[in-house]
Each structure stands twice: as structure tokens, then as C-alpha cells.
Structure 1
């Protein structure tokens, strides 16, 4: 496939990814107003973002595995349909409880986009063209997500917060233009439904535990129980079904595991800032559209990042690029904590620009590293597992800000997020000591 084709397909997929991302970025701007309208605190209101991000995370490996089995076309169509239905129901929700249910549905649907988008690019291109396509996808997605607060603020000002929740239905418009690029061939194997359920429950337990300070001990207890039961159950399931939902060839691959752990703090910072900046500035009298304008420059930065990410991946490889993304994320969180403490809009705007750069480099770096590290027949599920850990990081980020931020203050919650990338660098360290050379896809089999 030529460069022009990769440019068009990656831009379309990035646009679809960005529209799915608006499910968090545009909705985040509406959280303070929605919470007030439905009679809950802002900390409790952030559950609409956390649950969306969590469902986005835990459903991604399911779509990745289904894509391995039946191809990309059908699962993507199902996912976009669910996302649209969830967005519509969110706009019509009569109370907070129904809004949460609708947001769960929306997140489950939107989860199709990250994994299947990169699966399309991985299958369709290779070499430098693939690296550029990954970078372009991430850049366009980040740009649209960064414009989400501005779009959400403008829509909220004219039509109210409910209309903001409906914005992701625009994703339907792009499907006809992508149809020819969506392969429909798979292996026809069976999906490990029990394995998927156990992984989803364990991941949910971690997020519930992190955000429990905003909702009380019962949520914390539920999180502890889900994790306490889930971890040994997942371990046993993997041993009994080594080729099941979590193939042992994928989760025992050190490049996949270490890269995913190092990548997770990047979306944690991204989701954390999306909640923190509107909460801080609207709390100090800003209108939603003004917050959107503050964040708008990051959209222009996001469009430029692919010009950096593509050559960086080609020259330094995925792990080293991930290390850079982690360091930039930590800097962004420190700036955000300072801006939240001093109520400094310029500093907060700068923090969003930094985390946008980190996301634009980190997401394609993770996909590139994982795509090169596993055999072709499990590439879809490997990308799904990596994206699961990546986006669970996002739900943890919103949970930290919504939970700890409610308890000890927004700056302190952001400082916690600043420390996470350093832990990721520790996991990544063994990969940084190896030469940054590319091996043919499926031949790298380094194990833990």
C-alpha cells in the first residue's frame, strides 16, 4: 500500500478515534454542570468519565480477539453502533444512575476503535509507512480529543450538557469512508468468554478501589473483593487455557508486558488533566467555552506531533520512545499540580500541551513495540491486551483525580499521577539496554 493510502486511512481512523475520545474530553467539560443538575458532587460526577474509560479499557481485548477470529469489519460496526446508542441514551438519561448505565454502554462500544484501528494499520502497512500511520492516527485522535472541551463548551452553552453527551454519534458518518479498508477475514476460532469476564472484573476492581475515596467504603470493599477473587481466577484461567483470552505467548512476552506497564501512565495523565482543568477553572468562575479555548492550542500541537513520532519510532524504536513519553507525562503532571494549586490558567494550558505531546508519542510507540514483538496470528489480541493496560491507566487517572482530588485536593492527586511514569520507566529499563533495531514481525520472542 502506498503512502497516500496510509495517509487517508490513518486520518480517517484517527478521526474516528478522536470522536470516541470526545466521549471523555467533551464530557469532562460538562461534569461540573451535569453534577449540579443531577444533584451529585463533582467527585461523584467523575464516575461518568471513569466508567467510560474503564469500559473502553476492559472491552478492547475482546474486540482484538474477535478481530483475530472474524476480521475487523463486523466488530467495528457493532462497536460504533453501541457507542452511538450509549451517547444517545446519555443525552436522554433522567437521573445519574441511568446516565452511568448509558456511559457504560457507550464505553463498551467505543472500545472497538483503539484496538481495531491499530489492527487495520498493522495489517495494511509495515516499516516506516506503518510508523508514520501510527503517529498520524495518534495525532489526529489527540487533536480532536483536545478540541473536545472547546466543542463541548460551545455546545453546552447553546444546548446544555445533555447535547455534549451526544457528540460521539458523529462517528457513524465515517464508517462508509473506511469500509473498504476493513478486512473481514479471521481464523474462525472460538472466543474465551469466561477469560474476558474475569479480566474485566479484575480491572474494574482496581479502578473502584482507586476512586473509592469519593464514594465511601462500600465501593472500596467491592474493589478489594473483585481484585482478591479476580487475580487468582485469571491466573488459573491462563494456566488452563494457555491459548484463551489472554494467550500465554502474549502475556509472557516481556516486550508486551513491560511496554504496556510503561505506557499506562501516559493516558492516566491525559484523563486526569481532562477532569482537573475544567474542575479547577469552572470552580473559579470560568465558563465551559473559556476552558475549551484554554485547551484549544493543544489541538494544534497534536497535529504536529506525528511529524516527531514517526521518525522517532523509526530511529529509536518503541521502548525508547515510550520512555520519552513517560518523562514528558511526569513533567506535565507537575505543571498541572502547580497550576491547580496557584489557579494559574497559563500553567494549566501548558500542562495540557505537554501531556498531548506525550500521548501522541506514547500511544503509537506502544502499538509499534507490541506489533513487532508477537506473531501475526495473535497480533490483534496482543494489541488488545496492550491497549487494555494502556486505557486502564486512563481510568486510573480519572479515578485518582476524582477520588483523591475530592479527599486531599486536586494538586495532590495530580502529584500522584506525576509519580506513575517513574514506575513505568523501571519496568521499561531492561528494554532500553538493548539495541534499537527492528526484527521481522513475529520473530521477537523475548520472555519474562
Structure 2
């Protein structure tokens, strides 16, 4: 494939990816207004971001497996259509409960984009072209997502928060432009829906437990029960269906699992700051559009990230790039904690810029590492599993801020995320050691 083709396809995939991200970044800026409009607290309103992130995480692996079975074109069309329906339903929601249901649909649809978009790149390009294309996807996506706060704040000021929720419908305009680049070949194997349900329930339990301080004991108990029952149930199901939703060949691949664990801190920090920064600044009297304007430097960083990410990946490799991304987000969370403590917009903006850079480097690094670690016949599900773990980190990040900012304080919640990022980096140590060992 030509460089021109890779540039065109990767930009389109990045725009589609960015619109999926816009569903969280634009909505996050409007959370205080949504809370007032629907009669809930700001902590409770954070569920609109957490559930979106959860569905992004869980459904990505479903789409990854479906792409292995029937190709990429049909599931991508279905996902973008579902994202559109969810966005419209959310914009019309008469109550917060209906809004949450719509956000679940919207997230389930948007989940098609990360895995399937990356699968398109991985299947069409190799070598430096693929590294450059993956970096371009991440850069365009993060830039558009970073513009989300400004777009959300501006649209909210002009048309209200309901129009903000509807913004991702623009994704339907990009599908025709990608149509001929979407593979339609698949293996025709069966989809393990029960495995998907078990993983979804277990992930939901974790998110509910973390965010329960904002919603009460009932949610905490429900989350704990889902988690306690889900973990052994998933383990049992994987043993029973080793070629199912979570293939044993992928789960037993230490490169896939360890890389995904380490990378999860990147979206965790991103989703956390999407909620924390508006909460702190709006609490100081800022308008949503002013918060969005302050975050524009992160959009510039997102656009510049591909020029940095591609050569870095080629020079130091995916594992080391993941380490750099993890250290960057840990430092950014410490910086953000200081900004939240003293109410400094400068420190908060610098933290978002750092996390944007880490996203632009970490996401393509993870996809490159995973893509190289598995066989072609399970690449889609491996990328889906990696993206699942990657985005579950996003759900945990938003849940920590939404649920623990009250008992710990916002600085305490952000410092907790910094600690989790450093803990996740320990998963890379064996992989790095293996890379440094001389080959026989």
C-alpha cells in the first residue's frame, strides 16, 4: 500500500476514533450543567462518563472477535450506527436514568472504532508505514478528543448540554469515505456471547465498587457481588471454552497481558482528568467554554504526537515506549494533584498536555506490541482484549475521581492514580529483561 493511502486511511480512522473519544471529552465538560439540569450531584453525574468508558472497554473485545469472524466492514457499520442512536437518545433523555441507558448504547457503539480501526491499519500496512499510521491515528484521535472540551463548552453555551451529547453523530459521515478500505473476509467461526456477558459483568462490578462512594452502599454491595462472582466465573468459562471470547492462546501470551496492564494507566489518567479539571475549574467560577479553551494546548500536543511517536517506536521499541508513557502519566497525576490542591489552572493544563502526549505514544505502542506478539488469525481478538484492558483503565480512572474525590479529596484521588500507574509499570519489567537477554 502507498504512503498516501496509509495517510488517508489513518487520518479517517483517527477522526472516527476521535469522535468516539469526543463522546467522553465533550460530555465531561458539561457534567456540572447536566447534574443541575437532571437533578443529581456532580459525583453521580460522573457515571455518564464511567458507563460510557465501561462499554467502550467491554464491547471492544466483542467487535475484535466479530472482525475475526465476518470481517471489519459490517461490525464497524453496526457500531457507528449504534453510537449514533445512543447519542440521539441521550440528547433527548428526560431523566438521568434514561441518559445513562443512552450512554451505555452510545459507548457500546463507539467501542467498534478503537479495535476495528486499529485492525484496519494492522491488516493493510507493515513496518514503518504501520508505525507511522498507528501514530497518526492516535495523534488525530487525541487531538480531536482534546478539542472535545472546547467543542462541548462552546456547544453547551450556545445550544445546551443536550446538543453536546449528540456531537458523536458526526461519525456517520466518515464511514462512506472508509468503505472500500474495510476488509470483509472472516473465518466464519462462532461468537462466544456468554463469555462477553461474564467479562462485562465482572468489569462492571469493579467500576461500581470503585465509584460507589458517590452513590451509596447499595451500589458498593452490588459491585462487590458482581466482582466476587465474576472472577471465578470468567476463569471457569475460559477453561471450558479455551477458544471462546477470551482465547487461552491470547490470555496465556504474557506480552499481550503485561503490556495491556501497564498501558491501562494512560486512559485511566485521561478519563480522570476529563472529570477532575472541569470540576476544579468550574468550582472556581470558570465557564465550560473557558475550561475548553484552556485545554487547547493539549489538542496541539495531540496533533504533534504522531511525529514523535513513530520515530520513538522505531528507535526504542514498543515495550520501552509503554514505559515512557507510564512514567509520564504518573508524573502528570502528581502535577494534577498539586494543581487541584492549590487551584492552579496552569498545573492542571500541563498535566493534561503530558497525558495527551502519553496517550499519543502509549496507544500505538500497545497496538504495535500486541500485533507483533500474536498470529494473524487471532490478531483481531488480541487487539480487542488489549483495548478492553486499556479502556477498563479509563473506566477505573473516571470512577476513582467520581467516587473517591469526596472521601479522599481531589488531590488524593489523583495521587492514587499516580501510584496505580507506577504499579502497572512493574508488569513491563520481565518483558524488558527478556528483550535485553542475548538471543541464542
TM-score by length of 1: 0.97
Where does residue 336 of structure 1 map in the other structure?
336
Gaps of 5+ in 2: none
CA distance in 1, matches of 2:86, 2:359: 26
Where does residue 29 of structure 1 map in the other structure?
29
- Given that 1:214 and 1:407 are in contact with CA atoms closer than 8 Å, whether structure 2 keeps it comes out as no
Where does residue 134 of structure 1 map in the other structure?
134
Equivalent residue runs for 1:244-259 within 5 Å: 244-259=244-259
Q: CA-atom RMSD, angstroms?
A: 1.1
TM-score by length of 2: 0.98
Where does residue 86 of structure 1 map in the other structure?
86
CA distance in 1, matches of 2:172, 2:202: 32
Where does residue 364 of structure 1 map in the other structure?
364
Q: Give deviations 1:153-210, integer Å, cap 9, x for gaps.
A: 1100100111100000000110111001100000000001111111111111111111
User: How much has 1:314 moved relative to structure 2?
Assistant: 1.2
User: How much has 1:315 moved relative to structure 2?
Assistant: 1.6
Equivalent residue runs for 1:323-402 within 5 Å: 323-402=323-402
Where does residue 435 of structure 1 map in the other structure?
435
Given the alignment of the two structures, is residue 153 of structure 1 paired with residue 153 of structure 2, yes or no? yes
Where does residue 52 of structure 2 map in the other structure?
52
CA distance in 1, matches of 2:230, 2:288: 40
Distance 1:352 1:202, change over 3 A: same
Where does residue 443 of structure 1 map in the other structure?
none
CA distance in 2, matches of 1:312, 1:301: 16
Secondary structure of the corresponding residue to residue 243 of structure 1: coil
CA distance in 1, matches of 2:259, 2:300: 27
Where does residue 100 of structure 2 map in the other structure?
100
CA distance in 1, matches of 2:84, 2:406: 31
Where does residue 70 of structure 2 map in the other structure?
70
CA distance in 1, matches of 2:420, 2:151: 30
Given the alignment of the two structures, is residue 11 of structure 1 paired with residue 11 of structure 2, yes or no? yes
Given the alignment of the two structures, is residue 143 of structure 1 paired with residue 146 of structure 2, yes or no? no
- Given that 1:33 and 1:161 are in contact with CA atoms closer than 8 Å, whether structure 2 keeps it comes out as yes
Q: How many residues align?
A: 438
CA distance in 2, matches of 1:124, 1:130: 8
User: How much has 1:313 moved relative to structure 2?
Assistant: 1.2
Which stretch has the larger CA shift, 117-126 or 307-316? Answer: 307-316
Q: Give deviations 1:119-166, integer Å, cap 9, x for gaps.
A: 000100011110111100000000000000000011001001111000
User: How much has 1:406 moved relative to structure 2?
Assistant: 2.4
CA distance in 2, matches of 1:417, 1:435: 28
Which stretch has the larger CA shift, 310-319 or 93-102? Answer: 310-319
CA distance in 2, matches of 1:311, 1:255: 22
User: How much has 1:228 moved relative to structure 2?
Assistant: 0.9
CA distance in 1, matches of 2:406, 2:63: 34
